[in-house]
Amino acid sequence: EAANARLAQANLEIDDIADALRRSENRLQLIIDSIPALIAYVGSDDVYRFANRGYAEWFGFAKEAIVGRSIGEVFGAEAFAQIQPHLERARASERVSYEYSRTLADGRMVHARSVVVPELDGDGRTVGFFVMSIDITEQKASQAALVQAQKMEAVARILHKIVVPFLKS
């Protein structure tokens, strides 16, 4: 009788712990999906094991649909070719940072900056990669606009140097 009571109490405690873990996991998932960063985990076989909502949406997938797909499948051949050398360095246990661009279905070019951190096992072998990226498309557009404005200003200065003396003569 006492053993049954202890067992019942232990089961209640296990249920409480499981509920607390579920709530904690849900909170963590909400946080990861809400931050303005693209976060993923890829196994050593180059297959996605996890992606937050921002990462999946960046590539045009639902969050649930990206898990189980390969990097090449998600990125497409052109963008994958850009990042493959960086992934090889990460595979060799090196933390890497890089930028890449890809073309969306509507023809727009988007840009991202990524950091890939290898996960190592106890023997120092790479077993997967943590990926954190940010969308830098607007930053790239601002830089391009600034360069264009500087070019136009330079042309205006040159024209001023040519036209003003011409008008004075």
DSSP H helices in the chain: 2-34, 53-58, 63-66, 71-75, 77-91, 137-168
pLDDT band at residue 39 using 50, 70 and 90 as cut-offs: very high
Cross-strand partners of 98 = 114
Of 10-19, 68-77, 91-100, 141-150, the poorest mean pLDDT is in 141-150
Query: What pTM, to 2 d.p., does this model score?
Result: 0.73
Q: What three-state secondary structure class fits 69? A: coil
CA dihedral 67, 120, 134, 59 (to 10 degrees): -20
For range 156-162, the mean pLDDT: 81
Two tokens, residue 78: 């052109």
